[in-house]
Amino acid sequence: MDVLFQDITIVTMNPLEPVLEHAYLGTQCDKIVYVDTKKPEEPAKKVISGKGHVLIPGLVNAHTHIAMTALRGYADDQTLTTWLFDKILPAEARLTGDMVYHCARLGMLEAIASGTTAICDMYFSAPQIALAASELGIRAHVGNVPLETGEGFNLADGSISDTYELLTRFAEDPLITVFTGVHAVHNSNPSVWSWVNGVADKYNLPFCMHMSETAEDVDSSFRKFGKTPTAALEAAKLFHHPTVAAHCVHLTDEDIAIMREYGVTAASCPVSNLKLASGIAPLTKLKEAGVNIALGTDGVASNNNLDMFEEMKLSVLLQKNLTGDAAALSAYDALYFATVGGSVALGRGETCGRLMTGFDADIVMLDFTAPHLNPCHHVISNLVYAARGSDVELTMVRGRILYENRQFTVADPQKVIADANSLVASVFRS
Ligand SMILES: [Zn+2]
């Protein structure tokens, strides 16, 4: 085997044996080939001592706009309307494809260093984001989705050329999956939906969208279509494709039933929802209804980091307070959302999200020797309630180590930071 982690605590997310102590995990090429408490007989090319360390499945950031690192801290503490229309959209209009590439690289290093092995990213210049992911070795579901122009569907929309470029350039790249979809119901229309349905049918693409993020999203959908966003999208037959719906804050019971019926994933972004005062997604109800739940950071302009450990902790704390029941959701639920739920969302539930033989070697190792992680009565409790992204010491995707001993193996971080900072400064100082 290629890599053997030895004498380590493994949080497998395998329901039969969720946690193994003093265990061994081996990888070969892009797969996990050995998980046991007995030492394997087969030698390994590289052995990593796991004493005081914990292995978890790679975290999935199921909703982000990773190149928005360009706008980290650019427009905080504004109302949502001021933030979006007066600050973020005009600033985004100044971002070039080159900036998207370099700021995506910056965001991906941040993600890798905090234990994220896959992202689901919706943004313009999406081929630049796919290129950055392919180079740095992180999995990426990428798409640029059309927006309403006010005059029906515009064939000059950059999302169309981006979609075809992604399908052509990255067809053979195992790290890249292309999606299409709608930005949101409030800024799309039936002609946009018809186009995305057509391209999804033709190329067998999944969908991503923002759905019911704010109360105003729901109000505008009622004004335009006389239905909630979920009901409007169902009526347009959009859920016939595997769908990741970000936010899902303002849902009716009927909406939740529709999501369950069509297998729509709710990608909850608790930090972003709190920062923009959008509300709290009803994750407890969604879980009870059997809807798949994943977690995301959203873009850093509304977060302001890509640390999935913050999302895990907040996702369950908010539910305890939303329901008035401290037992509403558990630490295990949060870790499940960020690993298994995220992998199911991205269509990889059979191959990613668990540390089991035959699964892809998307693996994260944390240092559990720090004061804030001791004592350790329950490893999953410490992972969700006490750990943070900076406790990650190693990140592996498809068997390739991208980050080891808190050092990147795939890029010089100082150069990535300098490139992004200088491009951002050149645009926002002028
Ligand atoms: Zn978003």
Tell me the CA–centroid distance for residue 119 and ligand 1, in Å. Answer: 12
Say what the pLDDT of residue 151 is: 59
Own/partner pairs, 159-163, CB within 8 angstroms, 24+ separation: 159/124, 159/126, 160/195, 162/124, 162/125, 162/126, 162/127, 163/126, 163/199
The length of the chain in residues reads 430
Tell me the CA–centroid distance for residue 299 and ligand 1, in Å. Answer: 6
Torsion of CA 76, 79, 82, 88, to 10 degrees: 40
- How far is the C-alpha of 324 from the C-alpha of 383, rounded, in Å? 23
CA angle 258, 259, 265 (to 5 degrees): 170
- In which band, very low, low, confident or very high, does the pLDDT at 189 lie, cut at 50, 70 and 90? confident
Q: Which residue ranges make up each domain of the chain?
A: 3-57+354-408, 59-345
Tell me the CA–centroid distance for residue 358 and ligand 1, in Å. Answer: 33
- How far is the C-alpha of 40 from the C-alpha of 26, rounded, in Å? 8
Percentage of the chain exceeding pLDDT 70: 98
Tell me the CA–centroid distance for residue 39 and ligand 1, in Å. Answer: 44
For the packed helices 97-113 and 413-428, what is the interaxial angle rounded to 10 degrees?
140
What separation, in Å, do the N-terminal and C-terminal C-alpha atoms of the chain show? 54
- How far is the C-alpha of 261 from the C-alpha of 239, rounded, in Å? 9
Tell me the CA–centroid distance for residue 247 and ligand 1, in Å. Answer: 8
Percentage of the chain exceeding pLDDT 90: 90
- How far is the C-alpha of 65 from the C-alpha of 49, rounded, in Å? 35
> Model's pTM, two decimal places?
0.97
Say what the pLDDT of residue 155 is: 60
Tell me the CA–centroid distance for residue 371 and ligand 1, in Å. Answer: 35
Tell me the CA–centroid distance for residue 206 and ligand 1, in Å. Answer: 17
Average pLDDT over residues 111-130: 97
Tell me the CA–centroid distance for residue 63 and ligand 1, in Å. Answer: 6
Tell me the CA–centroid distance for residue 83 and ligand 1, in Å. Answer: 14
Average pLDDT over residues 311-324: 98
Residue 215 has, within 13 A of its CA and on its CB side, a CA count of 4
**Interval 364-407: pLDDT, tens:** 999 999 999 999 999 999 999 999 999 999 999 999 999 999 99
Say what the pLDDT of residue 213 is: 96
Tell me the CA–centroid distance for residue 3 and ligand 1, in Å. Answer: 36
Q: What is the separation of C-alpha 13 from the centre of its chain, rounded to a whole number of angstroms?
A: 18
Of 33, 50, 51, which is closest to residue 42 (Cα–Cα)? 33
Tell me the CA–centroid distance for residue 134 and ligand 1, in Å. Answer: 22
| CATH C-level class of 59-345 | alpha beta
- In which band, very low, low, confident or very high, does the pLDDT at 152 lie, cut at 50, 70 and 90? low
CB-based neighbours (< 5 A) of ligand 1, an ion: 298
Instruction: Report the phi/psi class of residue 199: left, alpha or beta, with left for phi > 0 and alpha for psi in -120 to 50.
Output: alpha
**Interval 279-310: pLDDT, tens:** 999 999 999 999 999 999 999 999 999 999 99
Tell me the CA–centroid distance for residue 136 and ligand 1, in Å. Answer: 23
Three-state secondary structure call for residue 259: helix
Tell me the CA–centroid distance for residue 72 and ligand 1, in Å. Answer: 14
pLDDT of 149 above 70: no
- Lowest pLDDT segment from 152-161, 208-217, 298-307, 332-341: 152-161
Tell me the CA–centroid distance for residue 65 and ligand 1, in Å. Answer: 6
Output the CATH code of domain 3-57+354-408.
2.30.40.10
- How far is the C-alpha of 365 from the C-alpha of 357, rounded, in Å? 17
